[in-house]
Amino acid sequence: MTDTIQGRCAPGFERVRETFAANFSEGGEVGAAFSVFRNNECIVDFWGGFRDSAKSQPWTQDTLANVWSTTKGPTAMCCARLVDQGKLSYTDKVAAHWPEFAAHGKGQVTVAQLLSHQAGLSGLRTPTKIGGFYDHEKMAAELAAQEPLWAPGAYSGYHAITYGVLAGELVRRVTGKTLGTYFRGEIAEPFGIDFFIGLPESEEGRIAEMIESDGPVQSFDEIADTEIKKLTFTNPAMSPLYPNERAWRAAEIPAAGGRGSAYAIAKLYGVLAAGGEAGGKQLLSLDGIKAMSAPQIENEDAVLGFPLRWGAGMALNAEWGEYGPNMDAFGHSGWGGSFGSADLESGLGISYVMNKMGAALAGDPRALALTKAVYDCL
């Protein structure tokens, strides 16, 4: 399998290739890619394996994988850009932009609280099927009208899918554009980022087929031992194979439906790690980056059940070093193992994507090994 690995790295980063190869020979990888940017230059870019379960279609540099919650990073960047543009503030009440959101005592919820999973809307109270999330306006109206599952601001509870509806509607109320459209026009096209929130049919020929983990994975029913967890994880229950359906790929699902390459995601985070500028264009100001990644809450998350630190839509580095040794690093990871991260101290933007889902809820061993290899080479 290691002879299918392609790409390059800067001198001194050869260990990263060895680690990437080991994920195939020892870690059960089917298809994957890993990229690192520093000072807006790509210093590591490897890809290999196959983008389908039949192992008939080689993974290429521009293969597009569904990255699940890694999508939340680009979504948070859209909100941060609006803050930078003076069109939004993290201290704003959400209802100031979205009046209907004030129902059932949610009028005091701030934008920062919404983006850091404190709004109490991690799941829907009414029975919901996955197709419901393909209708953004309907989902947004339901969440706005819903009584929160807990007192907003009391603690965080990971908004696994609803985060994208909430952030997406906030962007739509401020700009008049859907989040996928805003991301495309404001970030993807100007900065050459090959990432989509809502995949055009023209890109279908590059997609990776998602493959279920063959390791011991807890079912969502097992994890859902509280009402909050049950409504978050099982209404509806997610299937790792939903992204193999065209309806999922076509829909704008800003919490879990983004598709891109490791190169594109690392390039995007690399812009942040370089201070927010690339090619004479500014994605975010340095102050904007720091505001987006400033801690909003640190606690045992009521949905995920382990300690987390949330910024304004960004996950802050955890004690297991998911984003390297610098605790100021930030980014977002996705179900199954993908991630994107930025470390301003080292100037690194890093991303890993794959199609074979990992079994770990957090801290995928393939991703951790690759990140460690990068920092060992510095």
pTM of the model: 0.97
Token pair listed for 142:
């339901």
Determine whether 202 is exposed, middle or buried from the number of CB atoms within 10 Å of its CB (0-12, 13-18, 19+): exposed
pLDDT grade for 110, boundaries at 50, 70 and 90 = very high
CATH class of 2-70+192-377: alpha beta
For the chain, which residues make up each domain, given as ranges?
2-70+192-377, 77-179
pLDDT reading at 218 higher than 70: no
Handedness of CA 212, 214, 215, 216 (dihedral sign): positive
pLDDT reading at 362 higher than 90: no
Within 10 A of 84 (CB to CB), how many other CB atoms are there? 20
- Spatial CA neighbour of 334 closest among 15, 61, 74, 109: 74
- Spatial CA neighbour of 262 closest among 319, 331, 320: 331
pLDDT at position 224:
67
Token pair listed for 250:
């076509």
pLDDT digits (tens, 9 = 90+) for 248-302: 999 999 999 999 999 999 999 999 999 999 999 999 999 999 999 999 999 999 9
pLDDT grade for 340, boundaries at 50, 70 and 90 = very high
pLDDT digits (tens, 9 = 90+) for 120-172: 999 999 999 999 999 999 999 999 999 999 999 999 999 999 999 999 999 99
pLDDT at position 222:
64
pLDDT reading at 247 higher than 90: yes
Contacts of 161 by beta carbon, 8 Å cutoff, 6+ apart = 133, 238, 253, 255, 256
pLDDT grade for 361, boundaries at 50, 70 and 90 = confident
pLDDT digits (tens, 9 = 90+) for 59-88: 999 999 999 999 999 999 999 999 999 999
- To the query of whether residue 69 is one of the catalytic residues in this protein, the response is yes
pLDDT digits (tens, 9 = 90+) for 301-320: 999 999 999 999 999 998 88
Q: 90-110 burial string, b = 16+ CB within 10 Å, else e?
A: bebbbbebbeebbeeebeebb
**Which residue out of 35, 69, 122, 261 is catalytically annotated?**
69
